[in-house]
Structure formats: structure tokens, C-alpha cells
């Protein structure tokens, strides 16, 4: 096979969770450009409708469904419906995620659990729902959206870091457990990406200056900029395609160099 052909997703069906906007939307558009049929879900009908409009604007005929990824019965029903209406899912991107920025000693156990539920339990639920059909079909690709917090900690994000660190290990375990069935499970670890999730960290200050956290991220990132969701597009196509068939249990950090860098010298 020609090497460029190995990146093609022609004939493949991809489910990207929480992909009405942000990183999930950019990844879905990229998988579509590579040839895949796009299926996405979001937690509310308004968001699914907003997503469908956004895909249509890009000339993409996506299939959108309402589904809360933390609800195992709802996820199983979604996967059954997709198999019936669109076909067997070849590529799952576990993208849906939340963050709560609360100092650990002020965080309730319930708030901690909510983050773990969406960011760690849900990828387990979604992967578990698609793997049996992938095994029957003879192949499958699972991409888990990890984080800098799969490797690093910082103030206020204890639950998120615990979940994303766990997601890194879930990725390696799925690869270990189902690699023999030709399922590749890898992660993408985005650096700091400009999306609604990070908007509070980039708010312009009342005096017109940049948010101190925004300045901190620029100083920590050798690329000296925030990432765009589109920066994750080609890495996602790679991990979704035959081009990565012998890559399994790997976390591909797409972070402008953050994890390589000790920080600016004084
Ligand atoms: P975002 O803008 O907040 O989008 C996340 C999407 O997931 C939203 O559409 C959200 O819907 C949906 N969602 C949340 N809970 C859900 C649930 N229970 N069921 C179904 N959908 C749900 O986030 P993003 O920045 O694009 O991030 C996408 C993924 O990348 C997340 O896993 C995030 O942790 C990860 N990530 C982000 C960054 C970054 O810098 N932005 C960096 C590393 C990793 P609602 O709008 O209703 O909440
Ligand atoms: C934060 C951020 C991060 C990013 C991302 C980094 O508050 O530190 O929201 O956690 O979203 O996950 O990779």
C-alpha cells in the first residue's frame, strides 16, 4: 500500500464523543476529511443541533445523537442505534470531558466523583460498548483524549489530574488486553488549547492586559502560543488510520513542547 493511502479513512465509521464544538469538533472534521463517516453525541439536544449546523456549514453530513457518556445503559443504546442506522463503529474518540478548578481541600467528594465519572468512567463505558463489535469486525481504533495532567499536577485540578492520569493507564490496559484482536488504543495528550474549556484562563483583564495564567502558559510553551483545536487534527487521523497499526498503548503529546521544557531561565 502506498504510504499516503495508509492514512485514508474511506469506508470507516467514527464516533467522537462530546463533539459539538472544541477539540472533538476539530478532530471529527479531520477524520471526515480523511474519508470517515462522522457520528457524534452531546449531552443536550441544543448542543447536538448546534453541532449539526456547524458540521453542515463545513459541508459535512454528520450523525448527531443525545447521550450522556456517563450513563452506561444510554451509551449501550447509542452504540446499538448507531450500528443499526449507520454501521459498526471502527473508530472511537473518547473526547467528552469536564474540569472543575477547585482547591483540593475545598472540593467535595461529590465534585471529585463527577469529574472522574465523565473523564475516566465514561471512556471505560464507551470503549466497553464498542469493543465487542470491533473484535467481530477484526479491527478497531480507540483514541482517548488525555492531557498535560496525565503527567503533571497543578493547583486546583486534583480530580482532573487523577482522571486523566487514570485515562493514560486505561489506554495502556485496553492496548494490552485487546491488541491481539487487532485493536489499537492510543491517547492524544493536548497541551493548552484555546477552547471554551480554557476560556476562563485566557480572559483579558479589566486593564486590557493578558490573564496571568495566559502569560504563564506562553512562558511554559516553547512554541510560545496556545494550541488550536486544529493542531490535533492530523495526529488524530494518524492514530485513527492504518498508518498507526503497530502503535499501541502510546500517548502522543501534542503540546508545543511543554513536557520537554524545564521553563524559561530567570
Ligand atoms: P469543551 O470545550 O468543554 O468540550 C467538551 C465537550 O464534552 C462539550 O461539548 C461538553 O458538553 C461535552 N460533554 C461534557 N460532559 C459530557 C457528558 N457527560 N456526555 C456527553 N458529552 C459531554 O472541552 P475541550 O477543550 O474541547 O476538550 C475536549 C477534551 O479534551 C476533554 O476531554 C478535555 O479534558 C481534553 N483536553 C482539553 C484541553 C484544552 O486545553 N482545551 C487540553 C487537554 C485535554 P457541555 O458543553 O454540555 O459541557
Ligand atoms: C487547567 C487546564 C488544563 C487543560 C489541559 C492541559 O486548568 O490546567 O484546563 O487541564 O485543559 O487538559 O493539557
| Domain locations in the chain as residue ranges | 4-193+227-258
Which residue out of 71, 98, 251 has the highest number of ligand 1 atoms within 8 Å of its CB and is therefore the one to mutate?
Answer: 98
Residue 1, pLDDT above cutoff 80: no
Q: Which three cell numbers stand for residue 29?
A: 472534521
Best CA proximity match to 183, nearest among 123, 226, 124, 140: 140
Distance CA 177, CA 160 (A): 25
pLDDT for 247 equals 98
- Taking the CB of residue 199, how many other CB atoms lie within 10 A of it? 10
Ligand 2 geometric centre to CA of 220 (Å): 13
pTM recorded for the entire structure: 0.98
- Convert the pLDDT of each residue in 7-22 to its tens digit: 999 999 999 999 999 9
Q: What is the 3-state secondary structure (H, E, C) of the chain?
A: CCHHHHHCCCCCEEEEECCCCHHHHHHHHHHHHCCCEEEEEECCHHHHHHHHHHHHHCCCCCEEEECCCCCHHHHHHHHHHHHHHCCCCCEEEECCCCCCCCCHHHCCHHHHHHHHHHHHHHHHHHHHHHHHHHHHHCCEEEEEECCHHHCCCCCCCHHHHHHHHHHHHHHHHHHHHHHHHCEEEEEEEECCECCHHHHHHCCCCCCCCCCHHHHHHHHHCCCCCCECHHHHHHHHHHHHCHHHCCCCCCEEEECCCHHHCCCCCC
In the predicted structure, residue 31 carries a pLDDT above the cut 90: yes
Instruction: Name the catalytic one among 21, 55, 65, 160.
Output: 160
What mean pLDDT value characterizes the chain?
98
| CATH classification code of 4-193+227-258 | 3.40.50.720
What's the average model confidence in pLDDT over 168-188?
A: 99
Residue 47 reports pLDDT greater than 80? yes
Cα–Cα dist 114/93, whole Å: 20
Active site annotation includes 160: yes
| Ligand 2 geometric centre to CA of 3 (Å) | 34
Closest ligand 2 atom number to CA of residue 160: 10
Atom index in ligand 1 nearest the CA of residue 229 equals: 26
Quote the ligand 1 centre to 23 CA distance (angstroms): 7
> How do strand 63-66 and strand 91-94 relate by DSSP bridges?
unpaired
pLDDT number for residue 210? 95
> Which residues lie with the beta carbon below 6 Å from any ligand 1 atom?
17-18, 20-24, 41-44, 47, 68-70, 95-98, 118, 145, 147, 190, 192-193, 195-198
**pLDDT at residue 235 above 90?**
yes
Query: Residue 16 to residues 180, 190, 222: CA-CA distances in angstroms?
Result: 24, 16, 30
Q: Ligand 2 centre from 198 Cα, in Å?
A: 7
Mean pLDDT for the stretch of residues 30-55: 98
Amino acid at each position: 500500500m502506498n504510504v499516503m493511502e495508509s492514512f485514508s479513512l474511506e469506508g470507516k465509521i467514527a464516533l467522537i464523543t462530546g463533539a459539538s464544538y472544541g477539540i472533538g469538533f476539530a478532530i471529527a472534521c479531520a477524520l471526515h476529511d480523511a474519508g470517515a463517516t462522522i457520528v457524534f453525541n452531546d449531552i443536550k439536544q441544543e448542543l447536538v443541533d448546534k453541532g449539526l449546523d456547524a458540521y453542515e456549514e463545513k459541508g459535512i453530513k454528520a450523525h448527531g445523537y443525545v447521550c450522556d457518556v456517563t450513563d452506561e445503559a444510554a451509551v449501550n443504546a447509542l452504540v446499538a442505534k448507531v450500528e443499526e442506522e449507520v454501521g459498526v463503529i471502527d473508530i472511537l474518540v473518547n473526547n467528552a470531558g469536564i474540569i472543575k478548578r477547585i482547591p483540593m481541600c475545598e472540593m467535595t467528594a461529590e465534585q471529585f466523583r463527577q469529574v472522574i465519572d465523565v473523564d475516566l468512567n465514561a471512556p471505560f463505558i464507551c470503549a466497553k460498548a464498542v469493543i465487542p463489535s470491533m473484535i467481530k469486525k477484526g479491527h478497531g481504533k480507540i483514541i482517548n483524549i488525555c492531557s498535560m495532567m496525565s503527567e503533571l499536577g497543578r493547583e486546583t485540578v486534583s480530580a482532573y489530574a487523577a482522571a486523566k492520569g487514570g485515562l493514560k493507564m486505561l489506554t495502556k490496559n485496553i492496548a494490552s488486553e485487546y491488541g491481539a484482536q487487532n485493536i489499537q488504543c492510543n491517547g492524544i495528550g493536548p497541551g493548552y488549547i484555546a477552547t471554551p474549556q480554557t476560556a476562563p484562563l485566557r480572559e483579558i483583564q479589566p486593564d486590557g492586559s493578558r490573564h496571568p495564567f495566559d502569560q504563564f502558559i506562553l512562558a511554559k510553551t516553547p512554541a510560545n502560543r496556545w494550541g488550536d483545536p486544529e493542531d490535533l487534527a492530523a495526529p488524530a487521523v494518524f492514530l485513527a488510520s492504518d498508518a498507526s497499526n503497530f502503535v499501541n498503548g502510546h500517548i502522543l503529546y501534542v503540546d508545543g513542547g511543554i513536557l520537554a521544557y524545564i521553563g524559561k531561565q530567570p
